[in-house]
Chain A
Amino acid sequence: MNKPVSGLGPHGERPAPASALKITEEQAAELNARRYTVAVALHTVGSDWSRQVMAGLAATLGRHSAAITEVADCHFDSVEQSRALERMLMQRPDAIVSIPVDNAAVAEAHSRIEAAGVKLILLDNVPTGLMPGKGYTTMVSADNFGLGQIAAELLAARVPARCTIGLLGYDVDFFATHERQIAFLRWMETHRPDLKVKQSKFESKEKAGVAMEQLIDSTPDLAGCFVAWDEPAVRAMAALNARKLNIPVTTVDLGNDVAAALASGPLVGGIAAQRPYDLGVAAANAALLSLIGSPLPTWIALRGIPVTRENVLEAYQLVWHAPAPLQLRNAVRQRSHS
């Protein structure tokens, strides 16, 4: 399945591919001479996704003599992110790369950035009221709508006709997870109208296990579940394991834990993988090009990858830019021999 980007941007934009962000030799020379500084505000620095984004950002910025002067871990907290952005602005970096943790709650803090003459590159979300060219330069994200469709298709293949499936969604106003959830529901409505979808929500990844338990309690015939991303999915699967329920789960992001679970057991029905390293590269290129005055598309989108037990090793290499860990390779080998 190598499908084009299927969603639209936060303001209805058509997607531009990351390959559109090319730095010419002449531009590279200019960038090397200017030695720009970039600050980064992430929702968390502790996830596999974040580590990969940072790796892509750092490698690309470093190649063009641009320094990352600060990396803020906002712990999914809007107050913490607003403070971090305020602090960053006082240090006057040339650009800030930020993943807004909420919409309305962090809008004011983000709106001050471009007003202060600092370029703002957004990842995955746009705060309420910010417009490209006025409040920010561009938004770089995965095709989250496409990721939701992939997760739906993977789950649909693993559940019987006329059953009930679950959607464990993120209860925060956030573009990327909204898109995944809407697309999941639309795909099911269009292609599997025989399935009933029951929804439950979690406010933070730590509460995903509790939300899963509630979903199990209220849905005795639950036959499968989609969880908005990998870390809460791992917690949701722990809740399923505790109840000795063996139903397939699909999710987004090929983190190490969920990749191992996909390779080793029946619980993970498939993963819609983002390419966070490439996302970091695209965000870095967007920041650099904007600093030397190159016009940019307002939404740069990277298509997702459907990952199953059969292609998990290749997909891991594509996503992580590294060979799969030994544990994952062994799990795949054992399953292929069994």
Chain B
Amino acid sequence: MSDGITHPLEDDDGPAETLWAGTGRASKREDSERQSLAQILNLIRNGTANTRLELERISGLGRAIVADRLETLNQLRLIDEDELGHANGGRAPRTARFRESQALYLVAVLEQGSIGIAVSTIAGKLLLEHHEPLDALAEPAAVLKRLHTLFDWALEQHRKDRDIWGIGIALSGPVETSAGQPFASPHLPFMPGWEGLEFVESLVARYGAPCWVRSKIEMMTAGELLAGSAQGAHDMLFVDLSREISAGLVLGGKLFKSDQGRAGLVGHIAVGEDTTTLCKCGNVGCLEAVAGADAVARLALQAASGAQSPHLAEMLQADGEITAMSVGTAALMGDTVSAELLSRSGRHIGNTLAALTNSFNPSLIVIGGTMAESSDILLAAIREAVYRRSHPLVSRDLRIVRSKIGASSALIGLARSVADEVFAPNILPRWILQGSPVRNKDTEAVVAAIRTAVTRSARNLPPPFERTPA
């Protein structure tokens, strides 16, 4: 990065080359102007510098060039330069501020059993979020239709004639990092029914903006790093205890991303001597199958039906179902069977995390996901097992905490990830002179072609959500 600060989500060499936001072809002089504009905008956007003096010092550009570029950025409505900064004797300097509210991102996290959406500023600050349950067995086309409906609703609340500059979607499962192409659906072998759905194309066509797909675990980890319990952490392990169990890793302050996007499948590490519990991956004895939310719910249902736990039986009668959350509630109300189920699950998870702790020596483990919300008993059992089973040298200063930002973590991580794509040093110079990554002829041509290609009627989707004319 040219601005000299650490960007926890970005790859060292920026996102993969794509053809969006223009080709970037320009004369040498114009190219130099674009580069310096992009450099100054990113310094202001990242909060690295906001006065002319600081911009000159950090960018190495001359006073006249900085003044000229600030004027251009002002005219492009990308910054405001009105407020007065701190005076070090003499007149207070004017400060430049990134106009983060001039456009929006749409982000969504799709999980088995729920959907969460948000609208954010182009700095990645969430303006509105909504989460709702979704039938875990819902057809992919129905899920996509619901996503469109919720995005449309969110825009009705917050659009105010603003353009959408990017869309981010997080999915439960490994998404290849090479899925950096923002106009085509990635290969999703782990999501039956989604192959060939062209969901990225449908979102691009509907909202006129590029769309990036990311793995949920990576985005949750990023969100924790940006706004959650792991803010500023150097080496951190984030564990998502939902229907699936997966982990994200932060090493040296940066999110670890494997090329194939499949790192962190800790739910498929074998636990104990279990040789009978079949996992959906085809193996037996996987952590997820033995100690995940579905396993806890299944064992609780047996306890409720077999009259071992009157508490659980009562819950089953009242709600018609037993979930890991209801087991947590029953434990809180003194049900010993539920408490033991959560302890058992926590011990298995803790033993697995102890092995990871020995391997990576994180200073912090953040436990998130729906199971983490269920009970303190689970967290206590995880802690106890990790501290007992990991080497004293790695557990001495280790903290284990519960996530406090829930499913918002993925939305926060996504909004930042989209911002990193839109303002990437190799992308920003392409569109900066137009003042918008979506209002240039190259992007508009790609979007128009996708709109023509998308066969909406076959997918039973609502008509496109029209962009307001400039």
- A residues with a Cβ closer than 8 A to B are 2, 4, 6-17, 19-20, 22, 103-104, 128-129, 131-134, 145, 173, 178-179, 182-183, 185-186, 189, 295, 297-298
A173–B128 touching, CB < 8 Å: yes
Contact A6/B133 with A16-B329, A129-B125, A298-B373 known, Cβ cut-off 8 Å: yes
A142 to chain B, nearest CB (A): 15
Tell me, in angstroms, the Cα distance from A231 to B374 when the chains sit together: 36
Contact (Cβ within 8 A) B129 A11: yes
Q: Does B440 contact A (CB under 8 A)?
A: no
Shortest C-beta distance, B83 to chain A (Å), equals 17
Contact: A17 with B329, CB < 8 Å?
yes
B328 proximity list for chain A (CB < 8 A): 16
CB-CB under 8 A for A2 and B406, given A12-B114, A128-B126: no
A129 and B415 CA atoms in complex are apart in Å by 13
- Is there a chain A Cβ closer than 8 Å to B127's Cβ? yes
B249 nearest CB across to chain A (Å): 23
Can you list 16 A-B contacts with CB-CB less than 8 angstroms, sorted by A residue number? A4-B318, A4-B320, A6-B133, A8-B131, A8-B133, A9-B131, A11-B407, A12-B131, A12-B407, A14-B373, A17-B329, A19-B333, A20-B333, A131-B227, A133-B405, A189-B149
**B159 interface residue, CB < 8 Å from A?**
no
The residue on B at minimum CB distance from A183 is B132
Q: Is the CB of A7 within 8 A of B404?
A: no
CA distance A128 to B150 in the complex (A): 18
Nearest to B404 among chain A residues (CB) is A133
- Top 5 A-B pairs ranked by shortest CB distance? A12-B407, A133-B404, A12-B131, A11-B406, A4-B319
B7 CB–A CB distance under 8 Å: no
Residue numbers of B with Cβ under 8 A of A are 109, 114, 116, 125-133, 146, 149-150, 153, 157-158, 227-229, 318-321, 323, 325, 328-329, 332-333, 370, 373-374, 376, 404-408
Tell me the interface secondary structure of chain A in the complex.
loop
The distance from the CB of B150 to the nearest CB of chain A, in whole angstroms, is 8
A11: chain B residues within 8 A (beta carbon): 129, 131, 405-408
| Inter-subunit contact A128/B127 (CB<8 Å) | yes
Task: Write the nearest CB–CB distance from A115 to chain B, whole angstroms.
Answer: 15
Q: Is the CB of A8 within 8 A of B114?
A: yes
Contact between chains at A12 and B408 (CB < 8 Å): yes
Across-interface contacts of A20 in B (CB, < 8 A) = 329, 332-333
State in angstroms the CA–CA spacing of A9 and B228 once bound together: 17
Contact residues in B for A186 (Cβ distance below 8 Å): 132, 146, 149
Report the Cα distance A338→B116, complex, angstroms: 49
**B125 — which chain A residues lie within 8 A by C-beta?**
129
Q: How far is the CA of A36 from the CA of B170 in the complex (A)?
A: 44
Task: Give the Cβ gap from A282 to chain B, nearest Cβ, in Å.
Answer: 14
Q: Are A10 and B404 in contact (CB under 8 A)?
A: no
Q: Hey, which chain B residues are within 8 Å of A132, CB to CB?
A: 404-406
- In the assembled complex, the CB of A83 is this many whole angstroms from the nearest CB of chain B, namely 24
13 additional contacts (CB under 8 A) given A12-B406, A20-B329: A4-B318, A4-B319, A7-B132, A8-B133, A8-B407, A10-B129, A12-B408, A13-B406, A16-B325, A16-B328, A16-B329, A22-B332, A133-B405
- Nearest to A6 among chain B residues (CB) is B133
A295 → B minimal CB distance (Å): 6
Shortest Cβ distance from B100 into chain A, in angstroms? 13
Residues of the B chain whose Cβ atoms lie less than 8 Å from the Cβ of A22 = 332-333
- Residues of B contacting A129 in the complex (Cβ-Cβ under 8 angstroms): 125-126
Contacts A8-B131, A10-B129: A295 and B376 contacting too (C-beta < 8 A)?
yes
Please name all residues of chain B whose beta carbon is closer than 8 Å to the beta carbon of A16 when the two chains form the complex: 325, 328-329, 373
Query: Contact: A131 with B127, CB < 8 Å?
Result: no
Complex formed: what's the CA distance from A178 to B319 in Å? 25
Residues of B within 8 A of A6 (CB): 133
Please determine whether A134 and B132 come into contact, CB atoms closer than 8 angstroms.
Answer: no
State A20–B320 Cα separation when bound (angstroms): 19
Chain B residues in 8 Å Cβ range of A179: 130
A10–B116 alpha-carbon span in the complex (Å): 10
A131 to B403, CA, bound (A): 11
Most buried by A among B321, B323, B328, B373: B373
**Cβ contact of A131, chosen from B116, B373, B374, B405, cutoff 8 A:** B405
CA distance A39 to B241 in the complex (A): 37
Judging by beta carbons under 8 Å apart, are B130 and A178 in contact? yes
Partner of A2 from the list B131, B318, B376, B408 (CB cut-off 8 Å) is B318
Which chain A residue shows the least CB distance to B407? A12
Query: With a CB–CB cut-off of 8 A, which chain B residues contact A295?
Result: 376
CA distance A6 to B113 in the complex (A): 12
Q: Knowing A4-B318, A12-B131 are in contact, say whether A297-B404 is a contact too (CB < 8 A).
A: no
CA separation between A295 and B320, bound complex, in Å? 28
In whole angstroms, how far apart are the Cα atoms of A14 and B332 in the complex? Answer: 15
Q: Which B residues are in CB contact (< 8 Å) with A185?
A: 149, 153
Q: Decide if A182 touches B319 in the complex (CB within 8 Å).
A: no
Query: For the complex, what is the distance from the CA of A174 to the CA of B461, rounded to whole Å?
Result: 28
User: Which residues from A are CB-within-8-Å of B133?
Assistant: 6-8
A199 closest partner in B (C-beta):
B156
* Residues on the A chain within 8 Å of B149, using CB: 185-186, 189
Q: Bound complex: CA of A182 vs CA of B146, how far in Å? A: 11
Considering only CB atoms, which chain B residue lies closest to A294 in the complex? Answer: B376
Q: Which residue on A lies nearest to B403, using beta carbons?
A: A133
